[in-house]
Amino acid sequence: MAEAASGAADVVLFGEPLILLSAAVLAVPIFKRFGLGSVLGYLAAGVVIGPVARLITGPEEIFHVAELGVVFFLFIVGLELKPARLWQMRSDIFGLGAAQVIGTGIALTALFILVGWRLEPAIIIGFGLAMSSTAFGMQILAEKNEMNLPYGRKAFSILLFQDIAIVPLLAVVPLLAPASDDAFASGGFAEFLKVVAAIATLYLAGRYLLNPMFRLLARTQAREIMTAAALLVVLGAAALMDLAGLSMAMGAFMAGVMLADSSFRHELEANIDPFRGILLGLFFMAVGMSINIDSVLYSWWRIVLAVPAVMAIKAGILYGLNRLFGASHNDSVRVALLLPQAGEFAFVLFASAGAVRALWPSETSFVAAIVTVTMALTPLSVWLIKRLIEDDEEETMEEDFEGAGGDVLLIGFGRFGQLVSQVLLARDVDATIIDASAERIRQAARFGFRIYFGDGERLDVLRAAGAQEAKMICICVDKAESANRITDLALSEFPNAKIYARSWDRGHTIDLIEKGVDFEMRETYESALVFGGETLRGLGFDSEETEETLHDVRKRDADRLSLQLSGDIFAGRDIEHDHADVEPEPLIKPTREAQALTEETRSAAEEEAGPESDTSETGDPTITRPLVSPFSSGTSNNE
């Protein structure tokens, strides 16, 4: 009997985790399949198992655990941001971020005063709703791999300042409560000293304690201990900031920044990332579970009016401020529609206000419903981005070469460069790849490639990408003019590196050889020979005959190229200056003379052949050389 009771207790104990995991496993793939994103899938799963089916009725406890997903996420973000880079973003953080919080807070406060709210609760609600969701915004940026795009950096700067701003806002709430007096002011300075002490402690620990600790633990070669240490650092920093009255997420972010220069950065990220993904998904499910259906139905008409008004005001201010701070129209639209929702810190602010009776329970329930619905509508606002941006704006990314450097620098990740990289990666060659297409880099990152954004025609980019230390520079760009400029730059500035270059056509090959590259290859040369060889095999020629023919064609091509380089076949033309006029010539004389097939080609052939042409009995001119060379100079529109 006791065993049965114990078994039932175990089922109850694991019941909620099983429900949460099952709902996530079912909902997220379906929503991803229809292009709606994982965030909306988690939200929908939370709504179903919470207020609809009532399988789980206490989302508050889940919220406390799920908030760790945001904590872990900001720790990983901090690992990617070295202090020097964070300093470079100071104008966006303390300029754009501060303007957004203050401007949006004032506008929303005015809105609630206009509809009849008192000044004190209107201020709390206005500035609470001015906060956007770090969890939603950062997750969407991460899913799209757009953190390093200009708009991604601006969105992150705004979210980071909002995390900072929650501290003074929480300090102001008791002053707005009906029973506030001067007693709080006397404790305000003590609270400030507590915050300073917590930040100083975290800074000193990050600078003098963490790296030696991880070096000591690494010697044990016990991976589980490194994972436990990573969790200890994140949770310890979060707890320290929480005790000081700061957000836990801010503490984790600061810990990540302190470890951004550490040699253990990548291992820490790998250890934390699985926890981050699961807990962040749980956070979104908890948001869905927290929707109070009864409150929404009771005040539905006010919520229907308030939600679009709040989101429209926030989006409008975000757009205007981004334009004011130098962002393009497209980037301003992206930021405005990424962050129009209210954030998770609004729950914290409103709960604090309710505890000191600055907000009544009915008011807290109403504004909490607004926060939740705006979060739920975030995927819809993100979906609108593509409908409002302009197509003709060239997309750029931040030139961040952190971690770049290796034996090979590969420039260009198009159809040619991708195949070259596969060969190098197959042998674990340490290669740095750069490309000037933001879209191509984002696509490559989805498949696990680390590609750096940069223009290979710029000397500063080549140096930042490690060209001075590279043993070999592979130029794989798809434009001959660009390849020539990069080749000139590489030969003059990096003489110790071998230069391998992709050639566009025969004339370009001559250019590259004369410049002094160590190796060049026409992009269609080998593929055309392989295609021709397979054609012979398809016609019945055996392998020996086919290989013999291919060898002969290669030899004739090399001999012809040698003659062209020496200038013997140009009849006085200055080949060093004008290789675009290389005359197409066959490597093997055709056994049958070409016949004109139309009046146009007959006329052209007669003009071209002149007195050297002969006339057959039918009156058609007989051309002594083919009209089209199998090794043309690349003027065909099909290539």
408-411 and 621-623 as β-strands: parallel, antiparallel, unpaired?
unpaired
Buried b (16+ CB within 10 A) or exposed e, 305-325: ebbeebbebbbebbbebbeeb
Question: Which residue type is seen at 387?
Answer: R
621-623 and 594-595 as β-strands: parallel, antiparallel, unpaired?
antiparallel
**Token pair of 496 as six digits:** 């110790």
350 touches 127 (CB < 8 A): no
What number of residues does the chain have? 639
49 touches 289 (CB < 8 A): yes
**Token pair of 263 as six digits:** 């040699």
Q: Report residue 618's pLDDT band, with 50, 70 and 90 as the boundaries.
A: very low
pLDDT at 153 over 80: yes
Beta strands in 479-523 (DSSP E): 498-503, 519-522
Closest CA to 473 of 501, 510, 513: 501
Neighbour tally for 219: CB within 10 Å? 7
Burial class (CB in 10 A: 0-12, 13-18, 19+), 159: buried
400 touches 461 (CB < 8 A): no
pLDDT at 95 over 60: yes
CA torsion through residues 424, 428, 431, 434, sign: positive
- Render pLDDT for 448-485 as a digit per residue (tens, 0 to 9): 556 787 788 888 788 888 888 888 999 999 888 889 88
Half-sphere exposure (CA, 13 Å, Cβ side) for 475?
Answer: 32
Give the DSSP letter string of 537-584: HHTT--HHHHHHHHHHHHHHHHHHHHHHHHTTTSTT--TTT-GGGPPP
Mean pLDDT across 478-504: 89
To 5 degrees, how large is the angle CA 243–CA 249–CA 253? 110
- Render pLDDT for 516-557 as a digit per residue (tens, 0 to 9): 899 999 888 888 899 999 999 999 988 888 999 998 888 888
- State what percent of residues in the chain have pLDDT above 70: 76
Taking the C-alpha atoms of residue 298 and residue 291, their distance in angstroms, rounded to an integer, is 13
- Render pLDDT for 175-223 as a digit per residue (tens, 0 to 9): 787 755 544 444 556 767 777 888 888 888 877 888 788 888 877 777 7
Q: Which domains does the chain have, with CATH numbers?
A: 14-178+185-388 (1.20.1530.20), 408-523 (3.40.50.720), 584-639 (no CATH)
- Render pLDDT for 71-86 as a digit per residue (tens, 0 to 9): 887 787 777 666 776 7
Taking the C-alpha atoms of residue 183 and residue 55, their distance in angstroms, rounded to an integer, is 45
Q: In this predicted structure, what is the pLDDT of residue 458?
A: 83
Neighbour tally for 617: CB within 10 Å? 5
**Token pair of 279 as six digits:** 């807990």
Mean of all residue pLDDT scores within the chain: 77
474 touches 410 (CB < 8 A): yes
pLDDT at 339 over 90: yes
Mean pLDDT across 261-266: 70
Sequence-ordered list of residues with C-beta below 8 angstroms from that of 190, at least 6 positions apart, any chain: none
Q: Report residue 572's pLDDT band, with 50, 70 and 90 as the boundaries.
A: very low
Q: In this predicted structure, what is the pLDDT of residue 582?
A: 44
pTM: 0.55
Mean pLDDT across 226-244: 84
Taking the C-alpha atoms of residue 312 and residue 306, their distance in angstroms, rounded to an integer, is 10
**Token pair of 69 as six digits:** 């997903």
Mean pLDDT across 134-159: 82
Angstrom CA distances, 40 to 8, 296, 375, 555, stand at 34, 19, 9, 62
CA torsion through residues 176, 177, 183, 184, sign: negative
133 touches 372 (CB < 8 A): no
State the virtual CA torsion across 436, 441, 443, 446 in degrees, nearest 10: 180
Name the phi and psi angles at 466, rounded to 5.
95, 25
477 touches 483 (CB < 8 A): yes
> For helices 344-355 and 134-144, what crossing angle results, to 10°?
170
**Token pair of 421 as six digits:** 């990289």
